[in-house]
Amino acid sequence: MAVLELDGLGVRFGRRDILTDLHVSLSGRTIGLLGPNGAGKSTLIQTLVGFVPPTSGTGRVLGCDIRRELPQIRSLIGYMPENDALVANMSAVSFVRMMGELSGLPPDAALERAHEALFYVGLGEARYRLLGAYSLGMKQLAKLAQAIVHGPKLLILDEPTNGLDPPARQRMIRLIQEMRDSGEMHLLICSHLLRDVEETCEEVLILKQGRVVQSCNIEEERRANKRFVELEAYGHHQGFADAMAGLGCECTPLGLGRFRMVLPRGFELREIYQWASGRDVQFRRLNYRRDTLEEIFMKAMEN
């Protein structure tokens, strides 16, 4: 079963289209949601959890339709919002317990789970302190605790490392990786930090101006570009890029004798050396490499 399915989903605010005709089906354990500012990421999340009604089309979360089955969806998901939604004059354990009850847990079970969730995220010693006295990093962890207190099947994290210093960010990333590896829930992670998504996610959905420009499995996308090489030439290498293009390669000069190439199927590296022989050209370095998520993202933005 797909974790997230969008079928012509559109959202309009007044006369402005925020999301336009989104079609995608994703089933990975962890899904990254990427896009530049204003791409519609937060609007998509708010539509999935029922805060914003769709204008056209529909979507399904864990098989439940966002138009007709919102109560079922809300019982299955945990949501960590980007902005603070904490009650400053409540203790962490009281707040997380309240959120557990709002998610359907009986009071006694909610209190027990609140203690467990706060210990899990590392706030066990501070669980009786008022949330208003928490640091930014502690508030992020408290938001995570309230999102997982009821044991959701899908955890939605909106900018989970926003504003965190490096040690706090690493702590958050380790928690996300632990939850991913446990196999007990799926995760949808919205972040403007590509490194966060690359370290935690299997699949990625990239939006631009309210439209889907890329959706893929990150590892499969990298393997598809396994014939991706970089080389450094020395000597009279003028005309090298044109010659390689004539052989079916996508060859991009990077300056100072460096080239990046995507080799077509069946292409043999000896064809490069055959061209170089007799032209007083030497190759100082040639190596295969894989696309990074940044390169996948930049290619999507160029489409």
Task: Supply the pTM of this predicted model.
Answer: 0.80
- pLDDT band of residue 221 (cuts 50, 70, 90) is confident
Tell me, letter by letter, the H, E, C secondary structure of the chain: CCCEEEEEEEEEECCEEEEEEEEEEECCCEEEEECCCCCCHHHHHHHHCCCCCCCEEEEEECCEECCCCHHHHHHHEEEECCCCCCCCCCEHHHHHHHHHHHCCCCHHHHHHHHHHHHHHHCCHHHCCCEHHHCCHHHHHHHHHHHHHCCCCCEEEEECCCCCCCHHHHHHHHHHHHHHHHHCCCEEEEECCCHHHHHHHCCEEEEEECCEEEEEEEHHHHHHHCCCEEEEEEEECCCCHHHHHHHCCCEEEEEECCEEEEECCCCCCCHHHHHHHCCCCEEEEEEEECCCCHHHHHHHHHHC
pLDDT (0 to 100) of residue 274: 83
Q: Which residues contact 29 (CB under 8 A, 6 or more apart)?
A: 180, 183, 186, 187, 202
**What average pLDDT does the segment 241-255 reach?**
83
Q: Which residues contact 199 (CB under 8 A, 6 or more apart)?
A: 173, 177
pLDDT (0 to 100) of residue 226: 57
Distance CA 242, CA 233 (A): 14
**What average pLDDT does the segment 266-288 reach?**
79
- φ/ψ of 246, rounded to 5, equals -65, -20
pLDDT (0 to 100) of residue 40: 93
For residue range 66-111, what is the model confidence (pLDDT) as tens digits?
Answer: 999 999 999 999 999 998 889 999 999 999 999 999 999 999 999 9
Domains in the chain: boundaries = 4-221, 225-302
Average pLDDT, whole number, for the chain?
89
- How buried is 94 (Cβ within 10 angstroms: 0-12 exposed, 13-18 middle, 19+ buried)? middle
Protein fold of 4-221: Rossmann fold (3.40.50)
pLDDT (0 to 100) of residue 280: 76
Class of domain 225-302: alpha beta
pLDDT-wise least confident of 136-150, 170-184, 192-206, 217-231: 217-231
- pLDDT band of residue 237 (cuts 50, 70, 90) is confident
Question: Is residue 112 over pLDDT 90?
Answer: yes
Whether the CA torsion 161, 164, 167, 168 is positive or negative: it is negative
Question: Is residue 279 over pLDDT 80?
Answer: no
pLDDT (0 to 100) of residue 251: 85
